Amino acid sequence: MRPLSDLLRKHILTVKPYSSARSEYPTANTSSNQASSKTFLDANENAFGSPSEITVNRYPDPLQMALKRRICEIKQIPESRIGTIFLGNGSDEPIDLIIRAFCEPSVHAASGEITEGDAMIITPPTYGMYEVSAAIHHVAVKRVPLVRTFEGKTGTFCLDEDGIKQAITPRTKLIFLCSPNNPTANVFERAALERIITGFDGIVVLDEAYIDFAEAHSFLPRLAEFPNLVILQTFSKAWGMAALRLGMAFADSSIIEVLNKIKPPYNINILTQETALKALQHTDWKERVVRDILEEREALMHELSALHDVQHVFPSDANFILAHFTSARAVYERLVEKGIVVRDRSGVTLCEDCLRITVGTPFENERLLAALTSA
């Protein structure tokens, strides 16, 4: 890995973060009794409260320390390494911040001259926000498509390691990899991921949003081995909290310090922090639901494979299935007419005539199959 000072945009090194009232006098380590005995007149809050039944008139902890301590417990991270955790407004916020921190944009002069900026690599088909965020920041994207293979009524998608190596230039700062991948649903070979991480001198972002549904283990326990690795996870999937918009990034503390420096001061609101803290007391619920989803996934894949207009059902390590139909758009429209909405991925690289189907409840899955089998 190149030194962090060489990878970051030069002005980021000297940016002074906004100093909020709660960062100058943090309340995260203050007990409720201590907090209630203090008079806070430092943040221009409304001391008279609000119409809400919940206390929302005070600013939240800008670094979400109570929530991070609970995450340390769940993820078996020593509390001494709490500085390796970043919490964002969904995973989209750390994606945006990482690109903003590391990649110099291309500059278009009035004369029409273009000054080339930095670049990043993605492996389509993959999560679309990597490319959207790059476009917003005017950062060049090199696409190295996955390799698709078919075996009977199934198949798989693999990383093109040689293609990724050939796409790397001195200006390549980031590689985004999604495993389990969206929309293909599969985990990439662990050895291939490790070769890419160790063989690249920039930053590798490994998006593990769906890792709870995979037999493969997360790279999180090995994070200290890879100083250039950023791992993304989320509370939207296995924890069932998509509406909260709460994502996690794990990386060397030097990288997390940069993200904390350039994020908005109060990026995670108090309702999200408190709701997540309460939910994270129920790990048994999350584990039970994951088991239920996996059982439903296997049954749904078996039933889909038996349908005459399904050409392939790709292996899934996620809470959704990618299926190749004879005519995906016609099936999609037929399902919509019956009040069932899936995702048509036909316009995505390597996903022609493919529908992405989220694993639902037993009732929802039975309704889907009944609609697919009816004339």
- Give residue 36's pLDDT band: very low, low, confident or very high (50, 70, 90): low
Together in a domain, 44 and 87: no
pLDDT at residue 24 greater than cutoff 90: no
Query: In degrees, to the nearest 5, what angle opens at C-alpha 214 toward C-alphas 186 and 309?
Result: 45
Q: Residue 258: how many CB atoms within 10 A of its CB?
A: 24
| CATH assignment at residue 298 | 3.90.1150.10
Q: Do residues 204 and 197 touch, judged by C-beta distance below 8 A? A: yes
Alpha carbon distance 67, 271 (integer Å): 12
pLDDT at residue 33 greater than cutoff 60: no
In the chain, the number of structural domains is 3
Residue finishing a domain among 281, 305, 336: 281
Together in a domain, 231 and 289: no
DSSP-derived pairing of the beta strands 354-358 and 343-344: antiparallel
Together in a domain, 210 and 344: no
Together in a domain, 204 and 336: no
pLDDT tens string 268-303: 999 999 999 999 999 999 999 999 999 999 999 999
Together in a domain, 269 and 329: no
Together in a domain, 54 and 101: no
pTM: 0.94
Together in a domain, 52 and 121: no
pLDDT tens string 297-328: 999 999 999 999 999 999 999 999 999 999 99
What pLDDT does 163 receive?
98
What pLDDT does 186 receive?
97
| CATH assignment at residue 234 | 3.40.640.10
Together in a domain, 219 and 289: no
Together in a domain, 110 and 159: yes
Instruction: Provide the residue range defining the domain that includes 140.
Output: 4-18+60-281
Q: Residue 118: how many CB atoms within 10 A of its CB?
A: 22
Together in a domain, 301 and 187: no
pLDDT at residue 34 greater than cutoff 70: no
pLDDT tens string 351-365: 999 999 999 999 999
Residue finishing a domain among 281, 298, 316: 281
CA-to-CA dists, residue 219 to 188, 189, 206, 301, 340, angstroms: 12, 12, 9, 27, 36
DSSP-derived pairing of the beta strands 140-143 and 147-151: unpaired
Together in a domain, 357 and 244: no
- Give residue 85's pLDDT band: very low, low, confident or very high (50, 70, 90): very high
The least confident of 28-37, 173-182, 187-196, 265-274 is 28-37
Q: Do residues 118 and 103 touch, judged by C-beta distance below 8 A? A: yes
Together in a domain, 108 and 244: yes
pLDDT tens string 117-154: 999 999 999 999 999 999 999 999 999 999 998 766 66
DSSP line for 143-192: E---EEEEETTEEEEE--HHHHHHH--TTEEEEEEESS-TTT--PPPHHH
Tokens 């999350």 identify what position? 286
